[in-house]
Amino acid sequence: MLQYSFSISSSLLEAQFLFLFFS
């Protein structure tokens, strides 16, 4: 369960970095 939530948070963090990079 913890690993699953970590996977979600890391993918959200990656999406945030991509958004900042392309904006």
pLDDT single digits (tens) 1-23: 688 888 999 999 999 999 998 88
What pLDDT score was predicted for residue 1? 64
Q: 3-class secondary structure for 1-23?
A: CHHHHHHHHHHHHHHHHHHHHHC
User: Using CA of residue 17, residue 19, residue 21, residue 23, what is the dihedral sign?
Assistant: negative
Does this model's pTM top 0.85? My answer is no
